[in-house]
Amino acid sequence: MTIRYKTIKEIKNMISHKEISNKELVQEVYKLINENSHLNAFITLNEDSSLKKAENFDNNPSDSSLAGIPIAQKDLFCTKNLRTTCGSKILDNFIPPYSATVIDNLEKAGCISIGKTNMDEFAMGSSNETSYFGNVHNPWGENLVPGGSSGGSASAIAAGIVPAASGTDTGGSIRQPASLCGITGLKPTYGRVSRWGMIAFASSLDQAGPMARTAEDCALLLNEMCSHDIKDTTSLDENIPNFEDDLNQSLKGKKIGVVKDLDLASLDNNVVEVYENSLKEFVSLGAELVDISLPNLSLSVPTYYVVAPAECSSNLSRFDGVKFGRRSQNPKDLEELYIQTRSEGFGDEVKRRILIGSYVLSAGYYDAYYKKAQQVRRLIKKDFDEAFSDVDVIMTPTTRGAAFEMGSKGSDPIQMYLEDLFTISANLAGLPAMSLPNGNIDNKPIGLQIIGNFLDESSILNFAHMYQTKTNWHMLTPEGVTK
Amino acid sequence: MDKKTVTTISYLSRLKIDEEKEEKITNDLENIIKFVDQLNDIDTSDIEPLTNPLEKTAKTRDDIVTADNLKKELLEIAPSSNEDYFLVPRVVE
* pLDDT tens digit sequence for A42-53: 999 999 999 999
CB contact under 8 A, A324 and B78: yes
Asked if residue B11 belongs to a domain, the reply is: yes
Starting at the edge strand found earlier in the chain, the sheet holding A288-292 runs A42-45, A112-117, A70-74, A164-169, A207-212, A184-187, A433-441, A444-452, A393-397, A255-259, A288-292
In a mutational test of the B interface, the residue from A234, A324, A334, A375 whose CB has the highest number of chain B CBs within 10 Å is A375
Residue B70: per-residue pLDDT: 86
* Per-residue model confidence as pLDDT tens digits over B70-79: 899 999 999 9
Provide the H-helix boundaries in A39-150. Answer: 47-59, 101-108
CA pair distance A474, A279, nearest whole angstrom: 16
Residues of B in contact with A237 (CB under 8 A): 59
The beta-strand segments (E) located in A274-412 are 288-292, 393-397
At residue A97, φ and ψ (nearest 5 deg) are -85, 5
Task: Say if CB A151 and CB A172 are below 8 A apart.
Answer: no
- Look up the CATH number of domain A8-256+388-481: 3.90.1300.10
What does the alpha-carbon distance between residue A271 and residue A441 come to, in Å, rounded to a whole number? 8
The confidence band for A411, taking pLDDT boundaries of 50, 70 and 90, is confident
Residues in B touching A334 (Cβ below 8 Å): 88-89, 91
Per-residue pLDDT tens over the stretch A395-409: 999 999 999 999 998
Q: What is the mean pLDDT of chain A?
A: 96
What is the enclosing helix (H) or strand (E) of B15?
none
Q: In this structure, are residues A89 and A345 in contact, taking their beta carbons and an 8 Å threshold?
A: yes
CA separation for the pair A172, A374 (Å, rounded): 19
- pLDDT tens per residue, range A338-359: 999 999 999 999 999 999 999 9
How far, in Å, CA of A175 to CA of A400, rounded?
12
In a domain, B28, yes or no: yes
User: Residue A364's pLDDT band (boundaries 50, 70, 90)?
Assistant: confident
- Among chain A residues, the shortest Cα distance to B77 is held by A324
Answer yes or no: A62 catalytic: no
Q: How far is CA A229 from CA A198, A466, B61, in A?
A: 13, 32, 12
Measured in angstroms, the CA of B14 and the nearest CA of chain A are apart by 5
- Which residue, among B13, B60, B87, would best test binding to A if mutated, counting the most A CBs under 10 Å from its CB? B13
Can you tell me the ipTM of this complex? Answer: 0.95
A173 labelled catalytic: yes
Q: Which of residues 189-248 of A touch B (CB under 8 A)?
A: 190-191, 204, 230, 233-234, 236-237
Decide if A228 contacts A196 (C-beta within 8 A): no
Q: Domain-by-domain residue ranges, chain A? A: 8-256+388-481
Decide if pLDDT at A82 tops 70. yes
Note the pLDDT of residue A57: 98
Contact A51, A27 (CB under 8 A): yes
Residue range A427-444, pLDDT digits in tens:
999 999 999 999 999 999
Residue type, A283: V
The total domain count for chain B is 1
pLDDT of residue A482: 64
- 3-state DSSP helix/strand/coil % of chain B, to nearest 5: 40, 0, 55
B59 — pLDDT class (breaks 50, 70, 90): confident
Q: Which domain holds residue B1?
A: 1-44
Give pLDDT, residue B46.
Answer: 95
Residues of A in contact with B35 (CB under 8 A): 302, 305, 414, 417
Closest in B14, B35, B70 to A338, CB measured: B14
Q: Which of residues 64-93 of A touch B (CB under 8 A)?
A: none
Q: Which of chain A's residues have a Cβ under 8 Å away from the Cβ of B38?
A: 299, 302
Residue range A225-240, pLDDT digits in tens: 999 998 998 999 999 9
Kindly report which listed range (A122-131, A260-269, A316-325) carries the lowest average pLDDT score: A260-269
For B74, name the nearest residue in chain A, comparing CA atoms only: A97
d(CA A199, CA A315): 9
Q: What is the mean pLDDT of residues A157-185?
A: 98
Task: Tell me how close the Cα of A60 comes to any Cα of chain B, in angstroms.
Answer: 30
Query: Residue A42: helix, strand or coil by DSSP?
Result: strand
Q: What is the pLDDT of residue B42?
A: 95
Determine contact: A356 vs chain B, CB below 8 A.
yes
pLDDT for the residue A414: 87
What is the C-alpha R_g of chain B?
23
B88 pLDDT band, cuts 50/70/90, is: very high
B23 inside domain = yes
One of A126, A149, A278, A459 is an active-site residue; which one?
Answer: A149
Cβ neighbors of A107 (< 8 A, separation 6 or more) are A99, A113
In this model, does residue B61 exceed pLDDT 90?
no
- Please say if the pLDDT value at position A483 is more than 60: no
Alpha carbon distance, N-terminus to C-terminus of chain B: 38
**Which residues in chain A touch residue B52, judged by CB atoms under 8 angstroms apart?**
190, 204, 234, 430
Q: Which of A235, A248, A210 is nearest to A106 (CA)?
A: A210
Question: Is B31 a domain residue?
Answer: yes
Three-state secondary structure readout of A362-401:
CCCCHHHHHHHHHHHHHHHHHHHHHHCCCCCEEEEECCCC
Residue A480, helix vs strand vs coil? strand
CATH of the domain at B11: 1.10.20
Flag the least confident range among A276-280, A451-455, B61-65: B61-65
Mean pLDDT of A287-310: 96
Q: Do A414 and B35 touch (CB under 8 A)?
A: yes
Predicted TM-score (pTM) of this structure: 0.97
A6 tagged catalytic? no
pLDDT value, residue A441: 95
Mean of pLDDT values over A157-162: 98
The residue of chain B with its CA nearest to that of A455 is B54
Q: How many secondary structure helices (H) and strands (E) does chain B include?
A: 3, 0
% of residues, chain A, pLDDT over 90: 92
- Residue B24, domain member (yes or no): yes
pLDDT of residue A1: 83
Task: Report which residue type is found at A460.
Answer: I
